[in-house]
Amino acid sequence: MQELEKLKQLQSQREALKNRSTTVEKVKNKHESSTKTVCPECGSRQLVQDYERAELTCQNCGLVLEEEFIDRGPEWRAFDHDQRMKRSRVGAPMTFTIHDKGLSTMIDWRNRDSYGRAISSKNRAQLYRLRKWQRRIRVSNATERNLAFALSELDRMASALGLPRNVRETAAVVYRDAVDKNLIRGRSIEGVAAAALYAACRQCNVPRTLDEIAEVSRVSRKEIGRTYRFISRELGLKLLPTSPIDYVPRFCSGLNLKGEVQSRAVEILRQAGEKELTSGRGPTGVAAAAIYISSILGGERRTQREVAEVAGVTEVTIRNRYKELAEKLDIEIIL
């Protein structure tokens, strides 16, 4: 009798294992089908998710690639920011700009509970001690302490330069890769952070010159350039040379020029690129010369000094570049 009971138990365990493996295979197949990006019928990549019918359809031929998929969004609706904050039951998203990726607990500095009521004077001393120990536990060793300092330095420089969120995230990822490959040893944290920010600006097509980054950092332009070359070589960053067109919107905004002047400057730079007039020359100088020509042609004249101050180049550079562009592109400029 005991042996029969053992056999029954073994059979039930085998059946449970079989059921578990089949469910795992179903989940895998469902996950593989959910990650489809190409239509098998026509090869189109224009796939539309219809959340009302729970179907993934091809916009080109109408084939239904998947049905009854799970909607992973919230079940509630919000019509403004306050409603969204009240109904949300999750925290902030994961970010690389914080040393612990934003996954640790944060005790607020305000002495209020989750309902917004003031905390009594008895519990304030305990809350103060909890807050102090939370700060100590959050940074456990020297590596995390250095990473926290470097990421705060990155955030400070990015704020001073007015850089968007995606550039900050990219710079944090570049710095973390440098830490993982032990490239920080023998170099200053500020220098590596500034070099990572410069690389991120070039990767995200939001170019900033070495002089601009050196102004907001605590290291020299020479050290930033040397560290950037070392990091890009060791991490295998394949970055193309910056285009003068990327500088045009920022320079035109600094000079308070209209959109017509900006579009004309972009067109001049495109023509110059086709004739290879931009290769081997500083992108800021060429962009400044194109804006100077465009401002004269558009009736919004700016002096060479004004353009030079915004672009961070000398008046001689603008003079040489604009003469070259006007001569090779047959542009008549009436001074």
Residue 39 is assigned to a ligand binding site: yes
61 in a labelled binding site = yes
Q: Interhelix angle for 142-161 vs 165-180, to 10°?
A: 150
Q: Which residues, listed in sequence order, are joined to residue 102 by a DSSP beta bridge?
A: none
CA–CA distance, 169 with 145 (Å, rounded to integer): 19
In angstroms, rounded to a whole number, what is the distance separating the alpha carbons of residues 65 and 33? 8
Q: Where are the alpha helices (DSSP H) in 255-301?
A: 259-274, 283-297
Q: Is 58 annotated as a binding residue?
A: yes
Q: Provide the token pair at 218.
A: 């605590």
With left for phi above 0 and alpha for psi between -120 and 50, is residue 117 left, alpha or beta? Answer: beta
Q: Is 252 annotated as belonging to a binding site?
A: no
Coil vs helix vs strand at 143: helix
Secondary structure of the chain: what % helix, strand, coil (to 5)? 60, 5, 40
In sequence order, the 6+-apart residues with CB closer than 8 A to the CB of 104 are: 138
Q: b or e along 188-198 (b: 16 or more beta carbons within 10 Å of the residue's beta carbon)? A: ebbbbbbbbbb
Q: Is 316 exposed, middle or buried (0-12, 13-18, 19+ CB in 10 A)?
A: exposed
Q: How far is residue 151's CA from residue 213's CA, in Å, rounded to a whole number?
A: 15
Residue 241 backbone dihedrals phi, psi, to 5 degrees: -60, 145
**DSSP string covering 155-208:** HHHHHHHT--HHHHHHHHHHHHHHHHTT--TTS-HHHHHHHHHHHHHHHTT---
Rg (CA), the chain: 29
Cα→Cα distances 313→133, 262, 267, Å: 50, 19, 22
For the annotated binding site, the residues are 39, 42, 58, 61
For the annotated binding site for Zn(2+), the residues are 39, 42, 58, 61
